[in-house]
Amino acid sequence: MAVTPTVMVVEDEPPQREVLRYNLEAAGYRVVMASSGDEAVILAAEEAPDVVILDWMLPGISGIEVCRQLRARREMADTPIIMLSARGEEADRVRGLDTGADDYVVKPYAVAELLARVKAQLRRARPSAVGQIIRHGDIELDAARHRVSRGGTEIHLGPTEFRLLALLIEHPGRVWTRDQLLDRVWGRDVYVDTRTVDVHVGRLRKALRAGGGGDPIRTVRGAGYALD
């Protein structure tokens, strides 16, 4: 696996939060938790989750409203959102999907089924996490074989540069801050200076340009990096 996918769980009931955290971590995901809609909106901006599991009934702003607010942000436009609800009415299901949710699961649900749905959404949105080959322009990344090529020529990358490229190539055009890259590529518990990010981005650029192609990584002043 290239970069551990992050799942954001938005749920206010402590027992359900713990069941989800335990099972998602056991399945190999990085989990971040929000217990209210307001917290979810802030956390989504900080964590850039790969999948969101969103309870409908929340204190303060409802899951439906959170869904609408997340969808309105450019960087969250394609992030899969799975809504959880105690409501089983067809009209509610349609309303949930209308607001921009990708899937809708009725409580009480089987955890195994929810995990299968998370994986299905990732397969679509984060192909490298499930071992598929990703192409962007003339760059090809094969996560299962840990290989990268550009214009058909194999490129040798260190493990950190590989993980950086895997993250960037799955979200072309998206601007990542150095802190977000540190969290996602190095892990949140590792002490690394943000300048380390610049060093590794520099190495990745050099490797990608070794065959003579242009620089596909854009530096966004005051913000971070994006792959174009």
Q: How far is the CB of 27 from Ca ion (least distance, A)?
A: 22
Q: Which amino acid does the sequence have at 121?
A: Q
Q: Which C-beta is closer to Ca ion: that of 12 or that of 75? A: 12
Residue 145 CB-half CA count within 13 A: 11
Q: How far is the CB of 62 from Ca ion (least distance, A)?
A: 10
Q: How far is the CB of 16 from Ca ion (least distance, A)?
A: 7
Q: How far is the CB of 193 from Ca ion (least distance, A)?
A: 40
Q: What is the DSSP letter of 4?
A: P
Between vectors from CA 192 to CA 191 and to CA 197, what angle results, nearest 5°?
155
Per CB under 5 A, contacts with Ca ion among 17-76 are 55, 57
Q: Which C-beta is closer to Ca ion: that of 63 or that of 224? A: 63
Q: Which C-beta is closer to Ca ion: that of 55 or that of 102? A: 55
12 binds Ca ion, rule: CB under 5 A: yes
Q: Which C-beta is closer to Ca ion: that of 36 or that of 149? A: 36
Pull the structure tokens for residue 12.
């206010």
Q: Which C-beta is closer to Ca ion: that of 17 or that of 184? A: 17
Q: How far is the CB of 57 from Ca ion (least distance, A)?
A: 4
Contact criterion met (CB below 8 Å) for 32 and 43: yes
**Cβ-proximal residues to 112 (8 Å cutoff; 6+ apart), any chain:** none
Residues that contact Ca ion, how many (by CB under 5 A) = 3
**Cβ-proximal residues to 161 (8 Å cutoff; 6+ apart), any chain:** 200, 203, 204, 207
Pull the structure tokens for residue 75.
């960087």
Residue numbers of the site for Ca ion (CB under 5 A)? 12, 55, 57
